[in-house]
Structure 1
Amino acid sequence: MKKQFNRMRQLANQTVGRAEKTEVLSDDLLQIERRMELVRSVSHNAHKRLVSYLQGQLGTDTEKRHKKLPLTALSQAMQDGGSQLGDESLIGKMMDVCGETENRLASELMQHEVQIERDIIEPLNQLAEVDIPNILKQRKQLAKLVLDYDSAKARWYQATKSNNQAMAAKVDCLKDEMDEALNKVEICKDQLSADMYNFASKEGDYARYYVMLLEAQADYHRRSLAALEAAIPTIQLNLYDCTHKTVLLHSAGVGGKCGSCRLPL
């Protein structure tokens, strides 16, 4: 309680300019501190938007995630419609085949989102909500320790200048208190400096998350396009064969059913 009171009094004196304020961080470290606070803010915003970018449910297993995707619902609706219309319906046959393709697209999307969550969203959250806050917490602790040191130094200086015998008798005790406070400041400062420089050295790693996002998106779209390009020609050929046969046979006045789609001819 007394230490808290001394901190508040020292801070008040420094605020109005009646007391010196010890600066323990270099200009480089102060610049890193400002950068950290900004990186935390933009990383938090990027994390928030990336979470909203996902169509699946964050943190769920792959099977549940796949079931919750809109593409999966579309796939199921198409396949159900194909089953209801039956194999004798060309529309039903096309819906069934397209439904299978949509299900493959849903699988690709699910894998993509799992990768995004693992490799980008989780690391960004770790950076914004754990790593940087822990360093900033040390910074606040250092500020408190510096206040303790400044307060102890001020009380020691007053004692050395005092003519009061009682105060003079406390000089050695106050000197020890000041030295102890300074030692705590130095220990905290060294640890904080190491952590801040370590953060600065990893800025390239943090920037890499955004490159990985584009790479993952490009890979996902390539796989999805490959699935579509594999399915479309087969579907178009099947559709063309059935409709072409129907036109030719109707023109010739031939009845029956198409052997491919079972439509009446």
Structure 2
Amino acid sequence: MKKQFNRMKQLANQTVGRQVLKLIERRMELVRVVSHNTHKRMVSCLQGHIGADTEKRHKKLPLTSLSQAMVEGGNQLGEDSLIGKMMEVCGDAENRLASELMQHELQLEKDVLDPLSQLAEVDIPNILKQRKQLAKLVLDYDSARARFTCTVFSQKKGTMPATLSQ
């Protein structure tokens, strides 16, 4: 009778443990999906291309091409022309703005996008995998402990050693 009671108690604990595990897995999956979607949306807001080196990124920015057109237009009008000088100055200012934008995007990628990607693609799947492995090992441990306890009870005729009762 006691053996059946212990087995039912173990099954009840395993059922509760599975429910908690499913709840944790659902929450972790939700965090992973939110991280992934946030990363995708933030990348779509960037004007430069993610992962490219600084020169390629700088050349592909819309401000850079506009600034080059302004400088070329100023050169065509001549250095003596007031409009030509103004276009060159505006082109240089836009070029500096493009450099600042590029530096900002690089910093954003390093500080926000890379950790979000790491979380969604590496960390959360590893946590879920290790959590499943831990749950399996805990169930194996509970089962072995229950078998060991039953063996000790049968050998000692119902008396439990002091080390197991604590």
TM-score by length of 1: 0.44
Deviation, structure 1 residue 30: 5.5
Q: Which runs of 5+ in 1 are unaligned?
A: 1-19, 154-177, 183-265
Match among 27, 35, 38 for residue 46 of structure 1: 38
Structure 1 or 2: larger helix share? 2
CA distance in 1, matches of 2:114, 2:29: 19
Give runs of aligned pairs for residues 160-239 of structure 1, distance below 5 A: 179=144
Deviation, structure 1 residue 58: 1.1
Summarize deviations over 1:123-173 as a string: whole Å, max 9, x none: 000111110011112234456x37x85xxx9xxxxxxxxxxxxxxxxxxxx
- Are positions 1:137 and 2:102 aligned together? no
- Are positions 1:106 and 2:71 aligned together? no
CA distance in 2, matches of 1:99, 1:141: 60
CA distance in 2, matches of 1:31, 1:24: 11
CA distance in 1, matches of 2:87, 2:20: 63
Summarize deviations over 1:221-261 as a string: whole Å, max 9, x none: xxxxxxxxxxxxxxxxxxxxxxxxxxxxxxxxxxxxxxxxx
CA distance in 2, matches of 1:138, 1:24: 19
Query: How many residues are matched?
Result: 133
TM-score by length of 2: 0.68
Match among 25, 37, 55 for residue 33 of structure 1: 25
Question: Residue 66 of structure 1: SS of its match in structure 2?
Answer: helix
Deviation, structure 1 residue 33: 3.4
User: Aligned AA for 2:67?
Assistant: S
The structure whose Rg is larger is 1
CA distance in 2, matches of 1:83, 1:25: 75
CA distance in 2, matches of 1:115, 1:31: 36
| Percent identity over paired residues | 68
Deviation, structure 1 residue 29: 6.2
Summarize deviations over 1:72-128 as a string: whole Å, max 9, x none: 111111101111111232222211110011001001101100000000000000111
Q: Which runs of 5+ in 2 are unaligned?
A: 1-10, 148-166
